[in-house]
Amino acid sequence: MSEEKTANKARHIEVEPRDLPLHCPMPSMLLWNAHPRVFLDIAKTGVSLCPYCGTRYTLKGGATGGGH
C-alpha cells in the first residue's frame, strides 16, 4: 500500500506481504480509529473480510501458507 492517506470508503483493498500482520483499519486510512483494531488472518487463504466494516482484503500474490 502507498503511504498516502485514503478514505475509509474502499470496500476492497489489495495488500502486499510487507503489510502483514494485517489489521483493519490500516494506518493509511484517514479514520484509522473508525472501529476497534482487529487483526485479520490473510496468509492462509489470501483473502480476509473485516467483521466490523466488511472491507475485503486480498493478498497480492495470493496465499503464503501462513504459520511461522
Q: Residues 21-62: pLDDT tens digits?
A: 999 998 877 776 678 999 999 989 999 999 998 999 999 988
- Look up residue 61 and give its three cell numbers: 500474490
pTM for the whole structure: 0.73
Average pLDDT estimate for 11-28: 90
The three-class DSSP label of residue 12 is strand
Strand partners, 12: 56
Q: HSE (CB half, 13 Å, CA atoms) of 28? A: 13
Neighbours of 3 (CB within 10 A): 6
**Distance of alpha carbon 16 from alpha carbon 8, whole angstroms:** 18
